[in-house]
Amino acid sequence: MSDFFDIGLYKHHLSTELFGNVLLVEKQIPSTNSALKARRDTPGESCHGLVLLAEHQTRGRGQHNREWISSPGKNLTFSLQVCPDRSERLLLLSLCMASSIRQVLNAIDADVRGRVSVKWPNDVLIDGRKVAGILTEGVFQGHKLEKVILGVGVNVHQSPGANNLDPDKTTSIHLETHRMVSREWLLASILNHFEEMYLQWESRSDILYRTVSHELDGFGRWVHVEVDGILRKDPVKFLGVNEYGSCLMLNEELNVDTFTHEQIRIITGREVGTKAS
């Protein structure tokens, strides 16, 4: 299997109407998100659904500006540009991308199905180890939203311990399935699934956030949380997310607290607590 991305093979697997039909491929780039944020669209040109893929990102970023390390030609690092009418519910949109990746991973191998979950707000896990991450950023002209960039990194053929990655916290599709998954098929499949979810997101479907909630790591469990960097002593029950993608927690007084991703870090039942009845 070639390390070079085959656009023809990718287009063969792509079935979208909106996303990924225009694909730009760079051999090496600091960050696909930064490049699309800085890109000025030609007047009259519709760039809704434009995808920029990098064979190697030298300064890839995750949440809170954390570095995303990726081996050249071994993984999938790309950004998708969308142009929604409004800026609300972008957190839910990020979760839609994570859910799309989860659906694709579940389709690869029966042994993986059921082990893949979404870590709120923007990671995809296999047995608690990170296999993919999403960074969603809005670009504004004044107070008006111009475009949204969804940056995605998926560990595909990454070797254990490569680039000093912690094998206890990270994994790859190859490590979990022992299959050489085509990156072309993987990107097309993610976009195929995401387009369906985007249309639901755009129509403000109530089913969407309820579906995403059931895919979240820790959903329905008593978990511990860090709020504004401080670990709370008492556990709370993770109820999923609301229509904006904010997480809902039931406290011991049976009140529901709502949190955004800037406020809270969830420590799931893998570390503490037991599954709630």
Q: Would you tell me the crossing angle of helices 90-108 and 206-214 to the nearest 10 degrees?
A: 50
How large a percentage of the chain has pLDDT more than 70?
89
pLDDT of res. 186: 98
Q: Is the pLDDT of residue 275 over 90?
A: no
How many whole angstroms separate alpha carbon 167 and alpha carbon 156?
A: 14
Nearest to 236 by CA among 196, 265, 200: 265
Q: 39-74: per-residue pLDDT in tens? A: 887 765 678 999 999 999 887 665 555 665 667 788
Nearest to 33 by CA among 47, 49, 53, 18: 53
Q: Which class for 217: exposed (0-12), middle (13-18), buried (19 or more C-beta within 10 A)?
A: buried
pLDDT of res. 277: 34
Residue 213 CA to chain centroid, in angstroms? 14
Question: Greater confidence, 134 or 271?
Answer: 134
How many whole angstroms separate alpha carbon 213 and alpha carbon 158?
A: 29
Mean pLDDT, rounded, for 186-201: 98
- Say which DSSP state 234 is in: S
Q: 234-249: per-residue pLDDT in tens? A: 999 999 999 999 999 9
Question: Greater confidence, 53 or 168?
Answer: 53
Q: Is the pLDDT of residue 270 over 60?
A: no
Q: 11-40: per-residue pLDDT in tens? A: 999 999 999 999 999 999 999 999 999 988
Structural domains present in the chain: 7-213 (3.30.930.10), 219-267 (2.30.30)
Mean pLDDT, rounded, for 180-195: 98
How many whole angstroms separate alpha carbon 56 and alpha carbon 92?
A: 28
Three-state SS at 196: helix
Q: Which class for 234: exposed (0-12), middle (13-18), buried (19 or more C-beta within 10 A)?
A: exposed
pLDDT of res. 247: 96
Mean pLDDT, rounded, for 164-171: 78
Q: Which class for 1: exposed (0-12), middle (13-18), buried (19 or more C-beta within 10 A)?
A: exposed
Nearest to 101 by CA among 202, 3, 21, 197: 197
Name residues whose C-beta falls within 8 Å of residue 178's C-beta, 6 or more positions apart in sequence: none
Nearest to 38 by CA among 136, 142, 149, 152: 149
